[in-house]
Amino acid sequence: METVAHIPPYSLNQDEEKKLILREYRSLLKILKSRIKPGDKLLLRSAFELAADAHKTMRRKSGEPYILHPIAVAKICVEEIGLGVRSSICALLHDTVEDTDITLDDISRDFGEEITRIVDGLTKIANVVDVNASQQAENFKRILLTLTDDPRVILIKLSDRLHNMRTLDCMKREKQLKIASETIFIYAPLAHRMGLYTIKTELEDLAMKYMEPDTYREIARKLAETRKERTKFINEFIKPIRDKIEQAGLKADIHGRPKSIHSIWNKMKKKGVEFEEVYDLFAIRVILDSAPEKEKEDCWKVYSMITDEYSPSPERLRDWLSNPKANGYEALHTTVMGAQGRWVEIQIRSQRMNEIAEKGLAAHWKYKEDAQDESRFDKWFQQIREVITNQETDSIDFLQDFKTSFLAEEIYVYTPKGDVKMLPVGSTALDFAFSVHSAIGTKTIGAKVNHKLVPISYRLHSGDQVEIITSSKQKPSDDWLSFVVTSKAKGRIRDALREEKRKVADEGKYVVQRKLEGMGVTVSPHNIDELVNWYKLGNHLDFYYQVAVKGIDLKELKEFKVSGDRIEAPRPIKTTPLPDRPEIIPHHLMPRKDAELIIFGERSDKIVYNLANCCKPIPGDDVFGFVTTGKGLTIHRTNCPNAAKLLAHYGHRVVKTKWAKNKEISFLTGIKIVGIDDVGMVSKITNLISGELKINIAAITIEAKEGIFMGNIRLYVHEKEELEALVAALLQVSGVESVERYDMEDIPA
């Protein structure tokens, strides 16, 4: 579902609109032509007419007729994912139950049970992200349960999200941020895990376009400027490889493609380098036309030819031929040294492997009969189902657990008998133990990795052989949750801790029962609720547990009033609900602060705020306001490391904000400087900052080692432009190599 508005048409008259809608529908039929069987055309026409009629009064934010959106989603399903007629029908109908008077019964009557089930899943998925966190987790579980029954639900939803991201320009800024954050937080990782690499890449790039527009435009500009030089390099690099492949009698398509803007940006951040220093801006792809029984052999032959011509980096060989990824991805990846000292990544795969890489799960179904290990997806779905059905329904941690457990890259580890286990990157020996069996996990006291004794928190690597050591006396503890990453392990540990807590709480319940009986009342829900509220605890279990461990004293019960079989607290229980919006405070009543910042919300009223410590925003930064419990409004940068999670999980707490002009107020920020150690360098830097630019330095530390100096400077600036001018000036100082602003919570104290 997307937000719609009943606004006038953009430019076309009614007849022109009808022609446009029919043209788009016929375009869908054209790309479905090879898949349409007898009777399909009539069913497609019925779905189109039903959706067109249901959405006839609705328009997208751009002003165009809403029906163009479901048609576009259906085309993405077919062209870019490889789905067929039934999925196209579901795509055409995907918003009807959510947004119009059409019911599931109507769809069931006209289109049957299978399509109804998928549309129902798509309707539920539409409600995931606009509610509170616990409800969001619950909805997401329901979606994933539907996914395990019929993965087409998530594939159609990804098509819907991709089209919305492609047409996000007409939305308001805060809506763009929210949708982009959901995309980067949930949908891009899900597309990746489904094997839809092209869609995952585009979702990441589009999200970045709205979340970090300046950086996105800058990298796009530099990619365009270097395209000619890059094409020349690629052609020269490919020629000797193509010659060798042809001489060997193999058929292959070889081409180079640029890396995505988002992946280049990630590399720049991870390695702390500028665009010009990112050498692997592109990847070479070798796609072989090989018979199924010769695929692996031919891929290794090509690898041998490439490494004869260019020197490989041994650490960068990735063999997904022997052990395909959980989503079915198969390929050989290697990185070799080309001309001009450039590292070049090469991906080698067959046409079948390439289709699975491009179309993911849909292609996996197509080749399932021929695949030797067709159960990989089935195993993955089964793991998801097992975790969902065993987890507590109110687990707010569910979404994060799901991301780390099921959307991460995998490692392959071995049991003592040589069986392979796939686990997410970062998994520990304890995760492995729970993957073998829950009963083994809860009794684990240590492990042997490659025959060496290690603690249960030891992080595993691909190729490790793991033997688990157990003890019947062992019990899970709270600290276990801090180092396991799989949902199964976290769920089982929480279950065990809850069970242990219940046993202790039973003792507390007996104590409370005796106390209340002494007062002449029973252990009724009302009486326990009154006590839970009085002692400010979350639920009955926590209350009984605190009584058992002597965390609270029941002496205060004598102050309670008794009326029949009910007790009443001696004073009203006050609760302070979190406001949907921050309290608006008149300007003349606002407290004066040394660093007061005025931010304008939707009503252009002045409000009290806090600046987030995680990203240290300053005037000029792209920011949003977030209502926090007990702290009012907190201002975050849109590229804050926590932004995606906050915007995706708690969109209802986001307040539109922008900076007011105020040159009298300064804000604390920080910069890192790296350069060549030289006499007088500190003096040059401080003279420039304090003397020439008149910027106040709060703290400075500079360390020199082996001819290189690294400096950390905390300083006060009025706005982002002033900081950018300072960075530019420092880069002109002889010997200074790099200057960058601090990110996250690492401004040194």
**Tokens found for residue 32:** 């479905």
Nearest CA to 635 among 627, 582, 173, 590?
627
Write down the H helix ranges in 369-414.
Answer: 376-390, 398-406
Question: CA 539 to CA 529: how far, in whole Å?
Answer: 8
Count of CB atoms situated within 10 Å of the CB of 48: 24
Count of CB atoms situated within 10 Å of the CB of 312: 15
**Residue linked to tokens 């009698």:** 249
Count of CB atoms situated within 10 Å of the CB of 482: 7
Question: CA 617 to CA 610: how far, in whole Å?
Answer: 10
Beta-carbon contacts of residue 105 (< 8 Å; ≥ 6 apart): none
Count of CB atoms situated within 10 Å of the CB of 79: 14
Using DSSP bridges, classify how beta strands 444-449 and 466-470 pair: parallel, antiparallel or unpaired. Answer: antiparallel
Q: How far is CA 191 from CA 130, 569, 647, in A?
A: 21, 53, 20
User: What's the maximum distance between 2 C-alpha atoms anywhere in the chain?
Assistant: 97
Question: CA 698 to CA 669: how far, in whole Å?
Answer: 9
H-helix or E-strand spanning residue 308: helix 295-309
Identified catalytic residue from 40, 79, 99, 605: 99
Beta-carbon contacts of residue 82 (< 8 Å; ≥ 6 apart): 355, 359, 362, 363, 366
Contact 83, 60 (CB under 8 A): no
What is the SS3 assignment for 347?
Answer: strand
Q: Phi and psi (nearest 5°) for 117?
A: -65, -40
Question: CA 215 to CA 209: how far, in whole Å?
Answer: 8
Known catalytic residue at 99: yes
What's the CA dihedral at 743, 746, 747, 748 to 10 degrees? -160
Q: For the chain, how far is it from start to end, CA to CA, in angstroms? A: 46
Q: How far is CA 218 from CA 177, 209, 294, 531, 727, in A?
A: 19, 11, 44, 59, 17
Angle of CA points 486, 492, 497, to nearest 5°: 125
Known catalytic residue at 677: no
Contact 169, 175 (CB under 8 A): no
From edge to edge, which strands make up the β-sheet containing 654-655?
609-611, 632-637, 623-628, 654-655
Identified catalytic residue from 17, 40, 98, 110: 98
Question: CA 621 to CA 614: how far, in whole Å?
Answer: 14
H-helix or E-strand spanning residue 489: helix 487-518
Q: Phi and psi (nearest 5°) for 459?
A: -85, 130
DSSP 81: I
Write down the H helix ranges in 129-226.
Answer: 133-149, 152-166, 173-182, 188-193, 197-211, 213-225
Residues with a known catalytic role = 98-99
